Amino acid sequence: MEWDSIVAEYLAVCQIRRAMDLLFTDAQDEFRHQVRRWLEANVPSEARGTGPLRSLDTAEGFEAHRLWERTMYDARWSVVSWPAEFGGRGVGLMEWLIFEEEYYRAAAPTRVSQNGIFLLAPTLFEFGTPEQQARFLPSMASGEVIWCQGWSEPDAGSDLAGIRSRAERAGGSAGADASASGGWVLNGQKTWCSRGAFAHWLFGLFRTDPAAQKHRGLTYFLVPMDAPGVTVRPIAQLDGETGFAEVFFEDVSVPENQVLGTVDQGWSVAMATAGSERGLSLRSPARYTEAAGRLLSLYRQRAERDPVAARRVADAVARAVIDAEAYKLHTYWTATRVLDGGSVGPEASMNKVFWSETDLAIYEAALALLGEEAELFGADGHPSSWLDGFLFALAGPIYAGTNEIQRNVVAERVLGLPRV
């Protein structure tokens, strides 16, 4: 072959690789089938007498969900995108999205380890020391240690930087420049910690320099919930279950090696976690496309029984279904950008508003289809999955930074409007 034509061919190949392609590769399809086969054989199910699991916000359900995490971990499916040394398979972002699609398709249990694997883990990979990674990641991946997030306080919600819980150098010398490595003493109160009623460890923000400006002087700590001086008070949520908790700290000792990132730089570490919470990792699109699929089935059933009543809700159903798919497409679009070397900045705030509102729209449409039946609990004494999903979806616009705060971020940091 002539040199010229070799070059031309090479360029043509590059061109093809860069061109838009909305199909998965054969290897990705194979990965999908592998995931599907394993989940089909292993997901707790009524047919096999292994499911469904009780709610993860009950003591019994929490343990059952941990066991499921262990089963996945043993087959190396619990954290597919992590490196093999921590129990993962080292797959890429697209494969992770495929895994999530299959996970929701299989109606597999809610991830009891989600605060750990989706929020803390990316932060540990970015800011953790090798020792911290080796110490915390495998037990997180196996479900042995369940983590909760200790950020909010009674007087610091949206205004997170206003937290007052404090950490002081053991022995009394304060601040980052104290050379003593005698660790820290924590005092104060956290609240609304999801899974806090049963979790084993907490990742939290504490004030280490009271003299510094609000966003400075905060430090990110990793704290065992059974440490002396930690008291947990479970709080019943809207659905009656103890989905979150207050956590009190009274002279709780924490060694130096449980500081994540740099002392007094906790805000930037926390913002990395928040990026994961709002951006690509906490809420994968399959969650909504699967729910939208169930909404369509419900619509079909209802339309057969009472077409007039169903048609009243048709536009809302279509909207919810379209928005769920729009979220999925936007995720693939963003994932491609990230894989091509781009990053996700304040746009993550758009994501958070969109997924939370889409979720709510799906369940609101479902309840509208159910009409007066919606409020009724089933024979098992529990709300229907629609009512339950609706109650949970209602929290979406509040947690992970309220949607009002996200809109402020979009307006100021994406559109450049003045802060004032």
Ligand X SMILES: Cc1cc2nc3c(=O)[nH]c(=O)nc-3n(C[C@H](O)[C@H](O)[C@H](O)COP(=O)(O)OP(=O)(O)OC[C@H]3O[C@@H](n4cnc5c(N)ncnc54)[C@H](O)[C@@H]3O)c2cc1C
Residue 213 has phi, psi (to 5 degrees) of -60, 160
First to last CA, the chain: 66
Q: Which secondary-structure segment (H or E) carries 220? A: strand 218-224
83/90 Cα distance (integer angstroms): 4
420 binds another protein (CB under 8 A): yes
Interface residue with another protein, options 130, 341, 381, 418 (CB under 8 A): 418
Minimum gap (Å) between residue 360 Cβ and another protein? 14
Interface residue with another protein, options 4, 26, 340, 372 (CB under 8 A): 340
298 binds another protein (CB under 8 A): no
CB atoms within 10 A of CB 67: 16
Here's the x/- map for another protein, 15-54, by CB under 8 A: it reads as: x-xxxxxxxxx--x--------------------------
80 binds another protein (CB under 8 A): no
Minimum gap (Å) between residue 106 Cβ and ligand X? 25
Residue 359 · residue 397 · CB < 8 Å:
no
Interface residue with another protein, options 336, 384, 385, 402 (CB under 8 A): 336
317/309 Cα distance (integer angstroms): 13
**Looking at beta carbons only, is 174 or 398 nearer to ligand X?**
398
Interface residue with another protein, options 40, 318, 373, 377 (CB under 8 A): 318
Question: Binding partner of residue 151 among another protein, ligand X, none, CB under 5 to 8 Å per kind?
Answer: ligand X
Residue 229: alpha-carbon gap to chain centroid? 28
Residue 386 · residue 374 · CB < 8 Å:
yes
Q: Which residues bind ligand X (CB under 6 A)?
A: 148-152, 157-158, 192-194, 244, 395, 398-399, 401-402, 404-405, 408
Structure-token pair, residue 260: 């994540």
Part of the chain binding another protein (CB under 8 A), chosen from 152-160, 264-272, 276-284, 336-344:
336-344
315/294 Cα distance (integer angstroms): 16
7 binds another protein (CB under 8 A): no
Q: Which secondary-structure segment (H or E) carries 139? A: helix 130-141
Minimum gap (Å) between residue 388 Cβ and another protein? 25
Residue 177: which residues within 8 A CB-CB, separation 6 or more?
none
Place of tokens 């098992």: 380
CB atoms within 10 A of CB 367: 18
416 binds another protein (CB under 8 A): yes
**Looking at beta carbons only, is 238 or 318 nearer to another protein?**
318
335 binds another protein (CB under 8 A): yes
344-403 positions binding another protein, by CB under 8 A: 347, 350, 353-354
In a 13 Å sphere around the CA of 146, the CA atoms on its Cβ side amount to: 23
Measure the CA dihedral 155/157/162/164, to 10°: 50
94 binds another protein (CB under 8 A): yes
**Looking at beta carbons only, is 178 or 394 nearer to ligand X?**
394
Minimum gap (Å) between residue 354 Cβ and ligand X? 16
337 binds another protein (CB under 8 A): yes
Minimum gap (Å) between residue 408 Cβ and ligand X? 6
43/396 Cα distance (integer angstroms): 26
Place of tokens 């963003």: 334
Minimum gap (Å) between residue 307 Cβ and another protein? 5
Q: Active-site residue numbers?
A: 277
Part of the chain binding another protein (CB under 8 A), chosen from 51-59, 254-262, 302-310, 380-388:
302-310
* The amino acid at 306: D
**399: β partners:** none
Place of tokens 């009472």: 306
**Looking at beta carbons only, is 106 or 398 nearer to ligand X?**
398
Bond from prior residue into 52 cis (ω within 30 degrees of 0):
yes
Cα-atom radius of gyration of the chain, to the nearest Å?
Answer: 23
84/259 Cα distance (integer angstroms): 25
Part of the chain binding another protein (CB under 8 A), chosen from 13-21, 105-113, 148-156, 197-205:
13-21
Minimum gap (Å) between residue 350 Cβ and another protein? 5
Coil, strand, or helix at residue 112? coil
Residues that bind another protein (CB under 8 A): 15, 17-25, 28, 94, 296, 299-300, 303, 307, 310-311, 314-315, 317-319, 321-323, 325-327, 329-330, 332-333, 335-337, 340, 347, 350, 353-354, 404, 406-408, 410-412, 414-420
